[in-house]
Amino acid sequence: MKHKTFFWFILPSLAAMTLFIALPIVSVFIQSLFVGHEQVLVVSESCGPFGCSQTTSVDLEATEKLREEAPLGQFNGLGTYLNRSHLAFAEIGVAWAETDTWNDFWSVVGDLPFYRALAFTLTYTAVVTPLVILLGLAIAMGVNTLPKLLKGPSIFVSLLPFLVTPLVGSLILFWMVDSDGVIGATIQLIFNDPNLSLKASAALTWTMLIVYGVWHTLPFSFITFYAGLQTVPDDIIEAAKVDGASKWETTLHVVVPHLMPLVSFVTLMLLMDNFRVFEPIVSFSAEAHARSLSWIIYNDLRESGNPLYGSAGATSMLTIIGVVILLTPVLLRTWRDFNRKAH
Amino acid sequence: MYIRHLMMAGVMSTLMGSAAFAAGHAACGPEGQSVRILASDFPAIHAVAGTAEENCASGAAEFTRNHTTEARQIMNAALTPNPAEYTSVIVANSTLTQLMNDGLVRPLNDLVEKYGDNIPDNLKISIDGNVMAIAFMANSQHLFSRSDILAEAGVDSVPATYDEMIAAAQAIRGAGIMEYPIVMNMKTGWNVGESFNLAFLAHGGEFFKPGTAEPMVNSEAGVAALNTLKALVEYAHPDHLTQASNETQALWEAGEAALGIMWGSRGAAILDDEGSTEQVTSNTVLSAAPSVEPGGKPGATLWWDGFTISTNVSDAEAEATFAALASALTPEMVAANNDDAVWLLDGFQPGAAAAGVSATAQGGAAPYPMLPQIGLMHNALGAELTDFLQGNESAEKALQDVEAAYMTAAKEAGFLQ
């Protein structure tokens, strides 16, 4: 394609991407460099049905003046990125100097909000992604060998978890694992422990969130792989059979390599999705045991009286950087494969 | 004594000699205006806003009400543009400061003078002499107990202090009646923060150094409050960190709890004949929130609900809205909705459902602090205290974390430099 033709061809998508992806990210980045204005406080008397008392309130005129002088807020540079709610280098430095064992050091780091969230987010991503790929592949192959009559219904059933809105799906599961719910009560019966609660222990809460994550995203990898399986050429399979390959060997050496580009694609999508895990934490009321990066952003903005835009912006940028780091190996691999094929 | 007296006046509504209010069209302010109300979604608020609509909708060009549990989340954004999306927001202590921080509600002094003959002085929420809201109902947390279960466990009186409450819970567990007799709203986030506030205020704690936004929760009172909470939740269901009002009310109505610290506004819903059995409702006793020492400050925060008028609307709309809402605060409205709330208005007949809030207010409980930075503190408490309650860290460490988290947020919001 000529360069000029290519340029005109790509222009609409380029413009859309700049407008809807690049510019918002730039704006979030700029916002993350600023913090709120100084709130000028005045002491005044406040009265109501429960009596009078001295309280502080915001001096609106003085604060408004500051706001007009600099609408974006006070410039803070990378201060927000480095504070206790984010990378917390100062706190980690202190912990490093003051703790004697690795265990103590990690427990201090794990208590800092950003690292605590990062620990859960990474664990979730690292467990859910491979499980979903392997199980998705297995189910796709299973369904593919079913008789034609059963294929349609089983595909439909396998897709169901994907059709349920995440918030609703996790809420239903949350009620089921309640100690009065069907799953919770059954588990209590099995372990013969009437006090066993899935919601009260951190390990069980993490397990529950991960199981939910696998259940909810499995249909995506299943349907992608199932579509891929339809493109495996019959003659290669037959050739493998003729060469005496067992069913297992055929799968491992013929079918899986054929699906590799799809595996890369599914991995990319899953890494991005899982790194942004959010809804199940809210629906499961799991904040006491598990917080993710997205949940921190939500929490900063949810405090509606004083939404912390800078803080939320900084966490968003750090999340983007995290996604980029996670995706790099997969992207590199795809790039290498592409080059190998091109030459 | 003056304050206590005022509270009695408000809560028991014994002291209000309000002028007879001329109901009807004339009291509705300028005609042909648009009245748009944003409010929470519970029966008492519906009663006030609904009566305002009945009284004054015919003379208004437009009369809309948006009742949503998300009111608090959208109100600042909705009132910022000029003209604002709503002419009035029905607020509570904490949400009024949220609007005032951004200057989104107007002083009501001139409107009170014109339309507020029926509004007694103690319902005018004033800051530095400016009336910013008109309160009409009160709410607070207090103790719910099951008299039959207490009697069965050999406890002969309703607990009045935390120690008595814990001893009663122990007796109930000891008698093998219930393993987890206590329910409290301990859900991570706002609720667990609020539960801390109750015990903290009962222990005489102060959130901030007076006149500043410097935190003071990492104090003796803070540690004592956390230890009280910890002792209580020993007797609460292991899932307590996921339970808020809806869950605790359900546990109570299912007869699975015998001692509860819950919102007064749930009293009517628990005592009515829906969702529970005769045995539970007839034996549920509402009393003052427990204190630390006998006769001490009850562990509760007093709340009021009241209406405000937006800054960013025309004076005529503001006047029409104020007149409509003020016209609803009548003894007739109270009589028709008596059990929906603890009304601060003339004509209120405190029933069984109001007993707990009345006793708590008379016991001298503190109002929820109306400070501009309290939301950030509450948020930090809600996020950081669960580590202590799960036994992962000490009370001092948890409170240190609260202060550190608060200070980070307060610096970003501009309250600390």
> Who has greater pLDDT, A341 or A53?
A53
Name the minimum distance, in Å, from the CA of A183 to any CA of chain B. Answer: 15
CA dist., res. B363 & res. B294, Å (int)? 11
- Take residue B201 and report the two structure tokens written for it: 């205020």
Band (B19; pLDDT cuts 50, 70, 90)? very low
Asked which of A169-173, A219-223, A324-328 is least confident by mean pLDDT, the reply is: A169-173
Residue with structure tokens 């009035």?
B88
- Predicted confidence (pLDDT) at residue B23 exceeds the cutoff of 50: no
Least confident of A7-11, A183-187, A309-313, B248-252: A183-187
CB atoms within 10 A of CB A329: 11
CA B45: distance to chain centroid? Answer: 13
Which residues, numbered 12 to 71 in chain B, qualify as contacts with chain A under a Cβ-Cβ cut-off of 8 Å?
none
Residue A1 confidence (pLDDT): 66
Position B324 pLDDT exceeds 70: yes
pLDDT at res. A342: 64
B130 reaches A (C-beta below 8 A): no
Residue B34, pLDDT above cutoff 60: yes
Distances (CA, A) of B277 to A56, B97, B308: 47, 41, 40
Q: Is B324 within 8 Å of B56 (Cβ atoms)?
A: yes
Angle at A336 (CA atoms; ends A331, A342), nearest 5 degrees = 125
Average pLDDT of the segment spanning A23-31: 94
Chain B residues with CB-CB distance to A194 below 8 A? 179
Provide the pLDDT for residue B193.
96
Is B204's Cβ below 8 Å from some Cβ in A? Answer: no
Q: Would you state the pLDDT for residue B132?
A: 94
Q: Which whole number is the average pLDDT over B173-179? A: 95
Residue pointed to by tokens 């009245």 = B35
Please give the DSSP secondary-structure letter assigned to residue A139.
H
- Helix ranges (DSSP H) in chain A: 3-17, 23-32, 60-69, 79-82, 89-98, 102-111, 113-144, 148-163, 166-177, 182-191, 202-229, 234-242, 247-250, 256-275, 279-283, 293-302, 309-342
pLDDT at A87 over 90: yes
Pairing of strands B141-146, B88-92: unpaired
C-alpha–C-alpha distance, residues B29 and B116, integer Å: 12
Q: Is the pLDDT of residue B14 over 50?
A: no
Q: Give percent of chain A with pLDDT exceeding 70.
A: 99
- The position carrying tokens 């039959």 is B148
Q: Is B199 on the interface with A (CB under 8 A)?
A: no
pLDDT value, residue A193: 82
A41-55, B87-101, B333-347, range with the lowest pLDDT: A41-55
Residue B53: pLDDT over 70: yes
* Whether A46 and B3 lie within 8 Å, measured CB to CB: no
Residue B15 has pLDDT above 90, yes or no: no
Q: What is the pLDDT of residue A41?
A: 86
Longest dimension (CA), chain B: 67
Residue B4 has pLDDT above 90, yes or no: no
Quote the mean pLDDT of chain B.
90
pLDDT band for B87, please (50, 70, 90 cuts): very high
Q: What is the pLDDT of residue B186?
A: 95
Average pLDDT over residues B207-215: 91
The full set of domains in chain B, from first to last, is 2-139+302-362 (3.40.190.10), 141-301+366-413 (3.40.190.10)
Pairs from A113-119 (Cβ < 8 Å, separation ≥ 24):
A113/A84, A113/A85, A113/A291, A113/A296, A113/B383, A113/B405, A114/A85, A114/A86, A114/A87, A114/A88, A114/A293, A114/A296, A114/A315, A114/A318, A115/A88, A116/A291, A117/A291, A117/A292, A117/A293, A117/A295, A117/A296, A118/A293, A118/A322
Q: Do residues B361 and B297 lie in contact, with contact meaning Cβ atoms separated by under 8 Å?
A: no
Residues ≥6 apart with Cβ < 8 Å to B56: B25, B28, B29, B35, B63, B320, B323, B324, B327
Backbone angles phi, psi at B304, to 5 degrees: -120, 155
Minimum-distance CB partner of A50 among B238, B367, B417: B367
CB contacts, 8 Å: A302 with chain B: 73
- Residue B352 token pair: 């069984």
Rounded to a whole number, what is the distance in Å from the CA of B60 to chain A's nearest CA?
Answer: 30
pLDDT of the residue at A343: 61
Please state which of the four CATH numbers 1.20.1250.20, 1.10.3720.10, 1.20.1050.140, 3.90.870.10 is assigned to the domain occupying A113-342: 1.10.3720.10
Question: For position B18, what pLDDT does the model report?
Answer: 38
* Paired tokens of B61: 């060009």
Residue keyed to tokens 């950030």: B376
- Every domain of chain A with CATH number 1.10.3720.10 lies at 113-342
pLDDT band at A231 (very low <50, low <70, confident <90, very high): very high
Nearest Cα to B159, choosing from B301, B260, B255, B267?
Answer: B260
**pLDDT at residue B9 tops 50:** no
Contact B375 A41 (CB under 8 A): no
Closest-CA distance, A77 to chain B, in angstroms, reads: 12
- How many residue pairs bridge chain A and chain B with CB atoms within 8 Å of each other? 182
Residues of chain B neighbouring A39 (CB-CB closer than 8 A)? 101, 213, 372-373, 413-415
- Per-residue pLDDT averaged across A176-183, rounded? 85
Whole-angstrom distance, CA of residue A196 vs CA of residue A190: 10
Across the interface, whether the CB atoms of B126 and A58 are under 8 A apart is answered no
Least confident of A55-64, A119-128, B73-82: A55-64
Cis peptide preceding B83, ω within 30 of 0: yes
Helix (H, G, I), strand (E, B), or coil: what is residue A292? coil
Indicate the residue of A48, A285, A305 with minimum beta-carbon distance to B187: A285
Q: Do A306 and B238 touch (CB under 8 A)?
A: no
Task: Give me the pLDDT at residue A150, please.
Answer: 92
In percent, the amount of chain B with pLDDT more than 70 equals 94
User: pLDDT confidence of A237, banded at 50, 70, 90?
Assistant: confident
Q: Is the pLDDT of residue B17 over 70?
A: no
Q: Note whether B313 and B33 are within 8 A (CB).
A: no
CA distance A219 to chain B (A): 29
Distance from C-alpha of A338 to C-alpha of A321, rounded to nearest angstrom: 25
Looking at per-residue confidence, does B170 or A178 come out higher?
B170
Secondary structure, 3-state, chain B: CHHHHHHHHHHHCCCCCCCCCCCCHHHHCCCCCEEEEEECCCHHHHHHHHHHHHHHHHHCCEEEEEECCCHHHHHHHHHCCCCCCCCEEEEEHHHHHHHHHCCCECCCHHHHHHHCCCCCHHHEEEECCEEEEEEEEEECEEEEEEHHHHHHCCCCCCCCEHHHHHHHHHHHHHCCCCCCCEEECCCCCHHHHHHHHHHHHHCCCCCECCCCCCECCCCHHHHHHHHHHHHHHCCECHHHHHCCHHHHHHHHHCCCCCEEEEEHHHHHHHHCCCCCCHHHHHHEEEECCCECCCCCCCCCEEEEEEECCECCCCHHHHHHHHHHHHCCCCHHHHHHCHHHCEECCCCCCCCHHHHHHHHHHHCCCEECCCCCCHHHHHHHHHHHCHHHHCCCCCHHHHHHHHHHHHHHHHHHHCCCC
Residues near B113 by Cβ (< 8 Å), separated by ≥ 6? Answer: none
Mean pLDDT calculated for residue range A44-51 = 85
pLDDT in tens, B382-411: 999 999 998 889 999 999 999 999 999 999
Q: Which residues of B231-250 are buried (b: 16+ CB within 10 A; e: fewer)?
A: bbbebbbbbbbbbbeebbbb
β-strand partners of B89:
B38
Which of B206, B381, B412 best tests the A interface by mutation, with the highest count of A CBs <10 A?
B412
Of A74, A200, A305, Cβ closest to residue B98: A305
The whole-number pLDDT of residue A72 equals 84
Task: State whether B304 and A49 contact (CB < 8 Å).
Answer: yes
- Nearest-10 Cα torsion for B330, B331, B336, B337: 80
Phi, psi of B291 (to 5 degrees): -110, 175
Per-residue pLDDT at A161 exceeds 60:
yes
User: Does the beta-carbon distance from B97 to A57 stay under 8 Å?
Assistant: yes
d(CA B137, CA B398): 35
Q: Identify the CA nearest to B188 among candidates B238, B229, B225, B243.
A: B243
Q: What is the pLDDT of residues B105-156, one digit of tens each?
A: 999 999 999 998 888 888 999 988 899 999 999 999 999 999 999 999 999 9
Segment B258-277 mean pLDDT: 90
Residue B231 contacts residue B164 (beta carbons within 8 Å): no
Taking CA A75 as the corner, what is the angle to CA A73 and CA A78, rounded to the nearest 5 degrees?
Answer: 130
